[in-house]
Amino acid sequence: MTPQPALEGALRADLIAIAYLIASVLFILGLKFLSSPRTARRGNRLAATGMLIAVLATLLDRNIISFQWIAVGLVIGAIAGASMALAVRMTAMPQMVALLNGFGGAASALVATAEFFRLEMHPDLTVTTDVAVSVMLALLIGAITFSGSIVAFGKLQEVITGRAVTFPFQKTFNALLFLAVLASMVYLVISFEHEWVFLVFVGLALLLGVLLVIPIGGADMPVVISLLNSYSGMAGAAAGFVLRNNALIISGALVGASGIILTQIMCRAMNRSLTNVLFGAFGAQAGAAVAGPVGDRTVRSVQPEDVAVMLAFARSVIIVPGYGLAVAQAQHTVRELASLLEKKGVDVKYAIHPVAGRMPGHMNVLLAEADVPYTQLFEMDQINREFERADVALVVGANDVTNPAARSDPSSPLYGMPILNVDQAKNVVVIKRSMAAGFAGIDNPLYYLERTAMLFGDAKKMLNALVTEVPNV
């Protein structure tokens, strides 16, 4: 007969395997539902439930020595996560995503570090090549993700400059640094000893993460965020191989693959290659300019009362949100304005550009918070054909994604980037604080068109003024 402890062990292993399978299915379903704003909340709940099941299954592992520190970590993590989610403003959501990507990378790197020292302190344990490679990859990708995400956070938070930071022979230096990282990694895989080599490897990997993100300007932040998200997933998958944890491998692979796909979508939305984003040093923040004459061109400044009349008598209005809407936290006000226009029989739609804002899906999240109906949100390919029939295109804080130079000016750095065809609307109203350029630091010819009216001021204040004036028309 099989001894009772062996039966219990086999049953425990089967239960863990089944739980991991259920968690993996929930991860996949959650990711599927996250692909649409209409089902995103359901997908988030499914994925969170899957992670809860995976955590509980992991706690059944016989190799856990003490639950004390695990409980402490769970409590601290839960409090920190809940506090961040409740306290963070929508304008700071990209920064929080960058930090969470960094934390994920750091967690994978710490797991790999712990495994390295455990094996290094027990020479009697056999270190196979696959284990050594998994440890080094988890550490490399995790360290790059952590330091790169911290730099991305600093740029988004404006702790450091959002401009592309470059220096002479930067690409050559980065290439030599990568070769040094690769050489030390190969050495550690072969020998898996010498702590000083390990520490040098960690330091070089962290430095590489900084140097990969520091030359990327503000215009490319959506791509960087999605790429770092992919890195965190790949680091998690590598850590899963280190721990021989199937759920971690699957979830990490899903995050890594979806992050890469999203990165490619972002690149296509800007008509640029990933190589160009990473090494092109494109995107600088320009200083503010004032309204009025610009060279031999002038802009037409209007008051809220004029815009209210234009909107109230329109049959079709397309609202184009941008990062300025997030900065002003005016998503609820724009929703209120849309409701007032709908009561007057105006057809209101929202045009969403894939790279509007500072992270993928930023505008979708922002408008979802204000309970904007999903049926009114239209992606660029869906809405562009509607602009020529729209009476008014209301641009709220969007710059580069509406710049017609991307279509007509081969000398423009934006040339070839798919944009929202705002300039084809019968009338255009742009709400901006000033004539300052967007993240790319490029002037926008849209503002000088005869049918374009500039409503200068804080987005929330101007929208509130429109909310006040529209019912009086």
Give the catalytic positions in this structure: 400
Residue 131 in 3-state DSSP? helix
Residue 236 pairs in a beta bridge with none
How far apart are the C-alpha atoms of 434 and 420, rounded to whole Å?
A: 21
Residue 351 in 3-state DSSP? strand
| Residue reference for tokens 């068109």 | 449
How far apart are the C-alpha atoms of 79 and 263, rounded to whole Å?
A: 31
The CA angle 108-44-67, to the nearest 5 degrees, is: 45
The CA angle 185-190-191, to the nearest 5 degrees, is: 100
How many Cα atoms are found within 13 Å in the side-chain-facing hemisphere of 117? Answer: 8
Residue 430 in 3-state DSSP? strand
Contact call for residues 239 and 108 (beta carbons, < 8 A): yes
Contact call for residues 351 and 320 (beta carbons, < 8 A): yes
* Residue 96 vs residues 90, 203, 236, 314, 334: alpha-carbon distances, Å: 10, 25, 19, 39, 24
